[in-house]
Structure 1
Amino acid sequence: MASKLHLLQSKVAEASKLVSKHGCSYYKQLMEQNKQYIQKPPTVEKCQYLSNQLFYTRLASIPGRYESFWKELDYVKQLLKNRQEMKIEDAGIAALFGLECFAWFCAGEIVGRGFKITGYHV
């Protein structure tokens, strides 16, 4: 255990040296590459304005997303009505999508319980 702790400490020290040596140049390079996104002057008021702009733009996009949702739902209903004509590829994609939804549900439940898996007595 002590050897693992020593190994971890040496890795952390190595990473710290790397960040202190190259961190500033990486930051400058990142800012230069993305300067078109930087607002002048960088004030709290400007940040609040952009935050509100993002929020209300997202809010304004809800009707379009709502409409797209119903179109997708109508498409699924049509597929179910004509399921005799459905290809095996479409059925496979639907099954994988259902499995993915179930997996995300299970992961969410585990996270909601604080990463505790119930049913096991230790």
Structure 2
Amino acid sequence: MHNGVRLDKAALTSPPRQYRRYNTRPLLLPCTPPIASRLSPTRALSSDLSVRRPLPQTLRPQSEDPMAALGSKLAQLQSKACEATRFVAKHGCTYHKTLMEKNKHYVVDPPTIEKCQELSKQLFYTRLASLPGRYESFWKELDSAKLLWKNRSNLKVEDAGVAALFGIELYAWSCLGEIVGRGFTLTGYHV
């Protein structure tokens, strides 16, 4: 009995026909469960109508919420960032001074913005000018590799070992690149 009207369980759990026809969301019951039943982890029990219904996502415990885990990770990251900031604030000036003392022969005097822009242009065009020499050395290396492959019957064990180590190194870098690309996970690979 609810307010003098007797309702059966089917009338409480299924929405009316006109509601089912036009809307796919479930009909909300008119009563709200007590606070203690809203805090239960799986289902809430209404003391008024004895109907069980699922809790809304906002009332579920924090352990099921992935945002809670993200929040704790964020707090850990923030504390580590604070420690790093304190370390840099404490030791940063002395590190900068020692670094500049060791490399003062590379510093152009006076260190102005115009001089920095000029040096960056010099670096860019110097690297651009080195491209033909790099191109020639690449083709020389390729020709020597072709020659080694052609005369592979005269190949020494040391040369074969160096080639094998180079191939293993390439494979290791490829595996490392895949691990980095997958977000530093070590599981779920097809071996």
Please provide the CA RMSD for this pair: 2.8
Residue in structure 2 matching 1:32, options 101, 109, 120: 101
Equivalent residue, structure 2, for 1:84: 153
Identity among equivalent positions (%) equals 67
Equivalent residue, structure 2, for 1:47: 116
SS of aligned partner of 1:53:
helix
Q: How does 1:51-66 map to 2 (within 5 A)?
A: 51-66=120-135
| AA of the residue aligned to 1:61 | S
Deviations 1:29-69 (A, max 9, x none): 33223221111221222112111211111111111111111
| AA of the residue aligned to 1:31 | M
> Structure 1 residues 68-77 or 47-56, which shifts more?
47-56
| Cα distance change on mapping 1:83 and 1:118 into 2, 3 Å | same
| Cα distance change on mapping 1:114 and 1:45 into 2, 3 Å | farther
| Cα distance change on mapping 1:34 and 1:69 into 2, 3 Å | same
Deviations 1:85-104 (A, max 9, x none): 10011001001101111111
- What is the total number of aligned residue pairs between the two structures? 109
| Cα distance change on mapping 1:117 and 1:28 into 2, 3 Å | closer
| Cα distance change on mapping 1:82 and 1:110 into 2, 3 Å | same
Distance between the aligned counterparts of 1:26 and 1:116, measured in 2? 34
Residue in structure 1 matching 2:182, options 109, 113, 120: 113
Q: TM-score, normalised by structure 2?
A: 0.48
Q: TM-score, normalised by structure 1?
A: 0.72
If each structure's helix is expressed as a fraction of its own residues, which one has the higher value? Answer: 1
Q: CA deviation at 1:118?
A: 6.1
Distance between the aligned counterparts of 1:29 and 1:115, measured in 2? 35
Distance between the aligned counterparts of 2:117 and 2:187, measured in 1? 43
Unaligned stretches of 5+ in structure 2? Answer: 1-75
Unaligned stretches of 5+ in structure 1? Answer: none
Q: Which has the higher contact order (CA 8 A, sep 6+)?
A: 2
Q: CA deviation at 1:23?
A: 5.1
Distance between the aligned counterparts of 2:94 and 2:143, measured in 1? 52
